[in-house]
Amino acid sequence: MTLIEGVFAAAITPTKTDFSPDIEAIPGFLDFLAHRGCHGALMLGTTGEGPSFSPEQRQEILRTALRVKEEHPSFQLLAGTGTPSLDETICLTRQAFELGVDGIVLLPPYYFRNVDEDGLFIWFLHVIRKAVPAGCLVLGYHIPPMTGIPLSIDLLARLKDTFPDQFAGLKDSSGDPNHARKLGERFGKDLWVFNGNDSHFSLALEHQAVGCITAPANLISPDLRHIWDSHQAGKADLQTQESVNRNRVIIERYPPAPPLIKAILARKFQLPFWSVCPPLRSISQELVDRVLSELEIT
């Protein structure tokens, strides 16, 4: 398996005022992320408003995103493909691999929240058997605050045992530092864990995480990259981690993330002021001013 590791942005999706994806803007935005230290990006995740786009739009977004590899061959692209529909998830996953993504990040079927682990296992089993070719990589997406469906450590172990060459890891967006520790204690490096909460990045790395995939990485990837590079050199950059913590707390005060991040990208980095898809709404310039006065972004 090709190792996937490092700093990944849970990338926003450039969007026009008619709520369609701004296809031509995608490679340029990914180039921006690459130049700011990202090893890769997750397309069509929560921050990328993945569920807001049709299957056809998703396919076009991914096809265009892959053009970033023309300038940045080592830049890795992940795709969010999970939906409540088993059949649609299989189709989206299969298409993503056919296009050439480096891996997929798979939400659990988030509509029915009271299912048991056997039901979840069967769902993942069918997706992987029918849509994930040998040698292709799946990361589970553990974000119970959003989905209401946790991926327990026992379920992860069962999936890893059943699909050792395909079920590669987990995006852990639980926001629970104890969960980060438990994942490291149970799996070590056998399960590739990506931290989904910037405030816990250093802690997760200490417990065998292989990187991060976060929304603030759209804005603060140089700091996250510095933490990553320091860890690779056997050091802990606590000062930069404290700065990341402060920024994360500020961003969390103004949910949801996509409108805020798009507005800050436009004001701070002179990128287009991209729209968001309903029910999300763009934020006011006054709120952008307030947040920018609080954030520490270089």
Catalytic annotation, pick one of 2, 16, 111, 189: 111
Helix (H) / strand (E) containing 239: helix 238-252
- Which among 30, 1, 40, 4 has a CA at the least distance from the CA of 214? 40
For the chain, the farthest-separated pair of C-alpha atoms sits apart, in whole angstroms, at 52
46 is catalytic: yes
111 catalytic per annotation:
yes
Is residue 182 part of the annotated active site? The answer reads: no
Q: What is d(CA 157, CA 163) in angstroms, rounded to the nearest whole number?
A: 10
Q: Active-site residue among 15, 83, 93, 141?
A: 141
| Secondary structure (DSSP) of 80-144 | E---S-HHHHHHHHHHHHHHT-SEEEE----S-TT--HHHHHHHHHHHHHHH--TT--EEEEE-H
Residue in 81, 171, 240, 262 annotated catalytic? 171
Look up tokens 């729209």; give the residue.
Answer: 275
Q: Is 110 a catalytic site residue?
A: no
State which amino acid sits at residue 156. L
CA 86 to CA 240: how far, in whole Å?
Answer: 42
Catalytic pick among 13, 46, 214, 240: 46
Place of tokens 């795709």: 79
Residues serving a catalytic function are 46, 111, 141, 171
